[in-house]
Structure 1
Amino acid sequence: MKKSLTLITAILLSVVAIFSFSKKETVLADDDTPVVTLGTSLTESQKQGTLKTLTAALNGSNYQTITVTGSDLVKYLNPSGDNFTTSSGVWSSAMIQKANRGSGINVKILDYNGKNNITTITANQYKNAALTAGITDANIYVTSAIPIDGSGALAGVYAAYAKNGNALNQKQVNAAQDEMNTLSGITKENKNKDGYSDAQLNNAVAGAKSEMAKQGQNISDSQIRDIVNNQININHLGNTINNNQKNQIINLLIEIRDSGALKNGDFKGQAAKLSNQIENGAKNIFNKFNTPENRNFFQQIWDSIVNFFSGLFK
């Protein structure tokens, strides 16, 4: 009888263990549910409008919601130099959705009631910052019920990651925020200047990240400087980016290296994917550069070498 009780107890414990494991797996699966971040300052009407705008792409699928407050701005943005307080208002909102592996980071800034209310940060700046922060393969949608710079939306994305147990490295988040401030500042300084576009700048930075990742965490400051100079030339920004702005980019990329971002095995591929996305999204700009006349001297030499050896093996 005692042996029978022991056997029954063992069976029951096994069943409980299997049930617990299955339950845990269900919870982990829920982590893939899209998360909508709502600014705490939104009125009830604005919340409903924001939800409708952000979740339209889900076609009725489930999603989670979290509220982003001034405390979140303090936690995620102040370490990089911002001066938010716990009572700061938050209006810009976002939805983050897991994408298929290798999809890269996709960002869409959505109109609210027919108007783009994100006044400062561009979609490409969001993409580059998300990459630096450690986000991979994600669809991010951003909107705001009122005109606002849009920094609260990315803070919401960081908070959404933390909610699902994927807290991001704060050093990388700091670098990401510095990146947004730097790139948006350079774009503002060069607004309406011939030969300049935000797409060119962000493509240069994404290309630089990809090149840095190829050389690894031990890449030197001087190597980063060479990479930046090369990317500025490739993206035809040599006549618009001044030395001060160039140094800002170099210092930013040094900070990104020091944040540990290059240790992520997916970083190189995500950076290359981002560069392709930027070029495909601004073909009217980049198609002008991809002609024999506009390619720089080193690119033409490299193409000749590749074509020569390709001919030998054919």
Structure 2
Amino acid sequence: MKKPIFFTILATFVAGIFAISQNTVYADETPVVTLGSSLTESQKSGTLKTLTAPLNGANYQTITVTGSDLVKYLNPSGDNFTTNSGVWSSAMIQKTSAGSGINVKILDYDGKNNITTITANQYKNAALTAGISDANIYVTSAIPIDGSGALAGVYAAFAKNGDALNQKQVNAAQDEMNTLSGITRENKSKDGYSDAQLNNAVAGAKSDMAKIGNNISDSQIRDIVNNQIKINHLGNTINNNQKNQIVNILIEVRDSGALKNKNFKAQAAELSKQIEKNAQNIFNKFNTPENRNWFQQIWDSVVNFFSHLFGTVIISK
């Protein structure tokens, strides 16, 4: 298996995400650019210029994403693409050192952010669910578009490389993006709400879930979600229906097998740190010794108890 082709996979996550080998993503150091098939020659040139600017002249590879890719990889999660569907959103992904986490930046195209729906933090959480780790992902589009189509390129790249994809994780990642985008849209104008808070709550929940392991129950997931909503001060904005949606997508994440990935817990914790760092104006209000830290310490004790409990049960078998 040629690693440069393997890394092609990653680049596509909006696109670019996830090389899966035993639920773990690996990639070559060669960056990969994914291009939507609907781009005109002029738009391709502009997209390449935008996405490769961070490379400072370094080599890269390209892969084209088509409507057929959307049908094959995204429709199983409930989308309704056709082979004639257009694809404009594109991405570049670059492997980074171990422990650096998943970094996503949406780049302006000709001075305008044309990714209209999905946020950088939503891409990060979806990448984590899909199985990617330690990569820089750059996303752009030549025209205003939601940005979801670019994800299909990653899956297409993996398939062309001969690697079996975990469709359950693909579905979970796509469902997660749709859910979080919808919740942010519904709460966009509310005081005390931000997309960063929501995605930090989800990343924190994933980290807590990973501490307990794949045997975590539905009720434990619900308790974790309730805790993360409190920690991120979303109790006055997230309604019960939205809370249930979050619980359901995290149950799907568990059922997809994502928690079996040995890197999942560390990547989730790193993602939470990144979200908080990039939105310090929001989280500095919360992260005080008498606020988040005190509550989190109590919750960590509860999570650790269950983690050790399940660990003991597993060992005794």
Normalising to structure 2: TM-score of the pair?
A: 0.84
- Once the two structures are superposed, residues 87-129 of structure 1 have per-residue CA deviations (whole angstroms, 9 ceiling, x without a partner) of 0000000111111111111101000000000000000000000
Q: Does structure 2 retain, via aligned residues, the 8 Å contact 1:96–1:157?
A: no
**d(CA) in 2 for partners of 1:227, 1:124:** 20
Query: Which runs of 5 or more structure 2 residues have no equivalent in the other structure?
Result: 7-27, 301-317
Query: Which runs of 5 or more structure 1 residues have no equivalent in the other structure?
Result: 1-23, 304-314
Q: Tell me if 1:243 matches 2:240.
A: yes
Q: Tell me if 1:69 matches 2:44.
A: no
Q: Please, which of 122, 135, 159 is the counterpart of residue 125 of structure 1?
A: 122
Structure 2: which amino acid aligns with 1:60? G
Q: Name the residue aligned to 2:19.
A: none
Q: Name the residue aligned to 2:288.
A: 291
Q: Tell me if 1:60 matches 2:57.
A: yes
Q: Name the residue aligned to 2:108.
A: 111
Residues 242 and 163 (structure 1), Cα distance of their counterparts in 2 relative to 1, 3 Å cut: same
**d(CA) in 1 for partners of 2:101, 2:163:** 18
Q: Which moved more, 1:165-174 or 1:71-80?
A: 165-174
Q: Tell me if 1:28 matches 2:3.
A: yes
Q: Does structure 2 retain, via aligned residues, the 8 Å contact 1:35–1:160?
A: no
Structure 2: which amino acid aligns with 1:263? K
Q: Does structure 2 retain, via aligned residues, the 8 Å contact 1:182–1:249?
A: yes
* Alpha-carbon distance, 1:35 to partner: 1.1
Structure 1: which amino acid aligns with 2:206? K
Q: Name the residue aligned to 2:135.
A: 138
Residues 167 and 108 (structure 1), Cα distance of their counterparts in 2 relative to 1, 3 Å cut: farther
Q: Does structure 1 retain, via aligned residues, the 8 Å contact 2:287–2:293?
A: no
- Once the two structures are superposed, residues 65-105 of structure 1 have per-residue CA deviations (whole angstroms, 9 ceiling, x without a partner) of 11100011111110100000000000000111111111111
* Alpha-carbon distance, 1:211 to partner: 0.4
Q: 2:285 aligns to what SS in structure 1?
A: helix
Structure 1: which amino acid aligns with 2:195? D
Q: Name the residue aligned to 1:51.
A: 48
Q: Which moved more, 1:95-104 or 1:116-125?
A: 95-104
Q: Tell me if 1:227 matches 2:224.
A: yes
Residues 128 and 135 (structure 1), Cα distance of their counterparts in 2 relative to 1, 3 Å cut: same
Identical columns (%): 87
Structure 2: which amino acid aligns with 1:156? G
* Alpha-carbon distance, 1:298 to partner: 3.3
Structure 1: which amino acid aligns with 2:80? N
Structure 2: which amino acid aligns with 1:271? A
Structure 2: which amino acid aligns with 1:28? K
Q: Does structure 1 retain, via aligned residues, the 8 Å contact 2:231–2:295?
A: no
* Alpha-carbon distance, 1:163 to partner: 4.3
**d(CA) in 2 for partners of 1:43, 1:29:** 26
- Once the two structures are superposed, residues 262-287 of structure 1 have per-residue CA deviations (whole angstroms, 9 ceiling, x without a partner) of 00000000000000000000000000
Residues 273 and 147 (structure 1), Cα distance of their counterparts in 2 relative to 1, 3 Å cut: same
* Alpha-carbon distance, 1:166 to partner: 4.7
Q: Name the residue aligned to 1:40.
A: 37
Q: Does structure 1 retain, via aligned residues, the 8 Å contact 2:207–2:265?
A: yes
* Alpha-carbon distance, 1:137 to partner: 1.1
**d(CA) in 1 for partners of 2:3, 2:296:** 47
Q: Tell me if 1:149 matches 2:146.
A: yes
Residues 299 and 135 (structure 1), Cα distance of their counterparts in 2 relative to 1, 3 Å cut: closer
Q: 1:160 aligns to what SS in structure 2?
A: helix
Residues 210 and 113 (structure 1), Cα distance of their counterparts in 2 relative to 1, 3 Å cut: same
Number of residues of Structure 1 aligned to a counterpart in Structure 2: 278
Q: Name the residue aligned to 1:198.
A: 195
Residues 302 and 29 (structure 1), Cα distance of their counterparts in 2 relative to 1, 3 Å cut: closer
Structure 2: which amino acid aligns with 1:111? D
- Once the two structures are superposed, residues 180-233 of structure 1 have per-residue CA deviations (whole angstroms, 9 ceiling, x without a partner) of 000000000001200100000000000000000010000000000000000000
Q: Tell me if 1:184 matches 2:181.
A: yes
* Alpha-carbon distance, 1:153 to partner: 1.9
Structure 2: which amino acid aligns with 1:66? I
Q: Tell me if 1:91 matches 2:88.
A: yes
Normalising to structure 1: TM-score of the pair?
A: 0.84
Query: In angstroms, what is the RMSD of aligned CA positions?
Result: 1.8
